[in-house]
Structure 1
Amino acid sequence: MQLLNQAVVTEHLNMQAAIDAIEELLHQQAAHPNWVKAPERLVIETFGEDKEHSSGSHLSMPATIYDGKKEYTAVKLVTICPDNPSRDMPTTTAIITVSNNDTGEILAIMDGIYITQVRTAALSGIATKYMTKPDCQSVAVVGCGGMAYEQLNAVLTVRPDIKTVYLWNRNHEGAAQFKTRFARDYAQWDVEISVCEEVGDAIRDADIINVATRATEGLFSIDQIKTDAHINAVGAYQATMKEIGNDVVANSSMVVVDDLAGSRHEAGDLIQAHDNSDCTWTWDDLSGDLQALVTGALKKEVTKSAGVTLFKSVGAASFDAAVALYVAKQAEQNSLGTSIDW
């Protein structure tokens, strides 16, 4: 069994590999629906009933994948701790186990923080690849927390001609830190990064808008963005959260989710739009999911239609499993990390 800490996972997992692993999974699911199994994740709200604790959550996310030769199980355990930034610790902590279902042998135990960030971003990268025009020139980052780095990296991976990045964060210092860190750690991208005082300044000229926040109401309106902008929304992961306004949802020419079942329970933006009697959008207006987009079940001519497009991600255990399985196989083949007897 291989033990893989965050440094090892980060060194041996790149964005293109994650995108490829998830696209392969989506094709596999379409061709062989029984090869991938991922029950709805268990979410437990953590204690937040006093002034010393902000309510977070613990998630248990199992999935099995049969690759045509063997079946594997990956289980991710996640704890979301809203108070951690004040402790100089990541908001999301996670660990993943990967095992061989033929024998029950655990192949790898790995840090799941980076995998969570990369697989979430890879989903946005895939959506951007299929839902945006090839000549996009600019991207806005709304919310500059830990997830935002790989979100931007994913968009630049599939749209490498982008030259301008606009940043906005409720805490201006957070955006400034993002700019410094991204320029240092992602030097492969030749982009000009600007920190904006207002969210409207960041999104006004953006071809692509990445949103990753814990907001509880829409952060911008449809008249503040370009008429053909594409939005990747990966925050608002609970029904009570919302970062994309009802008017944006209702006026999007395409709305695509990563996981059909999960979005009905967790995509706060869409749940609240559907439930609001003043909003014209309902679940019947959903265009489809990422699998349909990648496999072509959502017709190409539809994805090229004019207008704002919206991708909403809530995550699913199968996506973590696909990326974790890639890392585990690399570890087994190349003796990565620390090998121990169990």
Structure 2
Amino acid sequence: MQVLNIETVKQQLTMPMAIEAIEALLKLQNKNPNWVKSPERLVIPTSADIEQHQSGSHLSMPCVMFDGENEFAVVKLVTICPHNPKRNLPTTVATITVSDTATGETLAFMDGIYVTQVRTAAISGVATKYMANSDSSTVAVVGTGGMAYEQLNAVLTVCPNITEVMLWNRTTDKARDFKAAFERDYSQWNVKLTVCDTVEEAVKEADIINLATRATEGLFEVDQVKPNVHINAVGAYQPNMKEVSDSIIEASAYVVIDDLEGGKHEAGDLIQAHDNSNCDWQWDQLSGQLLDLVSGSLKVDTDNKDKGITLFKSVGAASFDAAVALKIAQTAKRDQIGQAVAL
């Protein structure tokens, strides 16, 4: 078994690699639906009655994948710790195991923090590739926490014409920290980053908006964005959370989700829109899932400047983690990367 810490994972995992793995997974699922078994993840709230411990959650995410020759079991364990930024630790902490189901051999045990960040971002990257206008030049990043770095990296990977990035966070200092860190760590992108005082300022001229917040109400309305904007919403991962307003959802020409089964229990934006008697949007108006875009059964004319608002909602699924982690594990075993441990 190869043990890979976060630094080793970072050395192996690139954004193009993750995007390729996600697209390959979705094509595999479309062609052979029974080859990927990914039950809905188990979510356990972690709310202790002590002041030092803010409400979070623990998730168990198993998946079994057959690639045509071999079958693998991949399990990710996640703990979401909202107070961790105050400890200079990531909010989302995770570990992943990859096993061969034929022998039960564990191929790899790896830190899952970076895998989670990159695969979440890669999903947005795939959605952006198929839904955003091809000549998009401006991105708004709303919420500048740990997930936002790779989410922006993913959008820049699939949209080569981006030149300007507008940043907004409830805490302005955190947005400034994001700007400095991104300019330092992602210097390959020749983009101008600007910290905005208000969310309205950040989104008003954006062609693409990345959302990654723990908001409980919509952050902006439809009249505050461009009529053909593309929105990637990866926050609001519980039913009581909401970062996309009902007016945006109602006005969207396309609403796509990565995992419908999980979304109906976790996608707070869409759940609340569906349940709101004053909102016209219902689940049966969903345009489709990410798999439909990649397979070609759902198409957005990204060259059409009048395509309308496109909204992608991501809740995540174990299969996405499995696709990326398996690629890392196979490389690690082949090249003896990480620390070899005998069980």
In 1, the alpha carbon distance for the partners of 2:25 and 2:193 equals 34
In 2, the alpha carbon distance for the partners of 1:47 and 1:17 equals 36
Matched, 1:89 2:89: yes
1:214 positional shift = 0.3
- Letter of the 1:72 counterpart: F
1:139 match: 139
Given that 1:55 and 1:82 are in contact with CA atoms closer than 8 Å, whether structure 2 keeps it comes out as yes
1:320 match: 321
In 1, the alpha carbon distance for the partners of 2:217 and 2:300 equals 32
1:109 match: 109
Given that 1:256 and 1:289 are in contact with CA atoms closer than 8 Å, whether structure 2 keeps it comes out as yes
1:269 positional shift = 0.1
Mark the CA change 1:41 to 1:23 in structure 2 (over 3 Å): closer, same or farther: same
1:52 positional shift = 2.0
Given that 2:301 and 2:307 are in contact with CA atoms closer than 8 Å, whether structure 1 keeps it comes out as no
- Letter of the 1:65 counterpart: M
1:306 positional shift = 1.6
Given that 1:49 and 1:55 are in contact with CA atoms closer than 8 Å, whether structure 2 keeps it comes out as no
In 2, the alpha carbon distance for the partners of 1:211 and 1:199 equals 11
> For structure 1, which runs of at least 5 residues remain unmatched after alignment?
none
2:339 match: 338
2:194 match: 194
- Letter of the 2:143 counterpart: G
1:238 match: 238
Given that 1:254 and 1:303 are in contact with CA atoms closer than 8 Å, whether structure 2 keeps it comes out as no
In 1, the alpha carbon distance for the partners of 2:228 and 2:10 equals 34
In 2, the alpha carbon distance for the partners of 1:253 and 1:116 equals 29
SS in 2 for 1:214: coil
Q: Percent identity at matched positions?
A: 60
1:172 match: 172
Provide the TM-score with structure 2 as the length reference: 0.98
Render the CA deviation track for 1:115-162: whole Å, top value 9, x for unaligned.
000000000000000001111101000000000000000000000220
Render the CA deviation track for 1:214-243: whole Å, top value 9, x for unaligned.
000000000000010000000000011000
2:310 match: 309
Provide the TM-score with structure 1 as the length reference: 0.98
In 1, the alpha carbon distance for the partners of 2:241 and 2:282 equals 17
Mark the CA change 1:4 to 1:310 in structure 2 (over 3 Å): closer, same or farther: same
SS in 2 for 1:89: coil
In 1, the alpha carbon distance for the partners of 2:192 and 2:186 equals 12
- Letter of the 1:113 counterpart: I
1:50 positional shift = 2.9
Given that 1:131 and 1:303 are in contact with CA atoms closer than 8 Å, whether structure 2 keeps it comes out as no
SS in 2 for 1:139: strand
Given that 1:77 and 1:95 are in contact with CA atoms closer than 8 Å, whether structure 2 keeps it comes out as yes
2:51 match: 51
1:7 match: 7
1:300 positional shift = 4.7
- Letter of the 1:231 counterpart: I
Matched, 1:154 2:154: yes
In 1, the alpha carbon distance for the partners of 2:10 and 2:134 equals 28
SS in 2 for 1:333: helix
1:89 positional shift = 0.6
Aligned residues: 342
1:47 positional shift = 2.4
SS in 1 for 2:263: helix
Given that 2:2 and 2:107 are in contact with CA atoms closer than 8 Å, whether structure 1 keeps it comes out as yes
Given that 2:207 and 2:230 are in contact with CA atoms closer than 8 Å, whether structure 1 keeps it comes out as yes
1:303 positional shift = 9.3
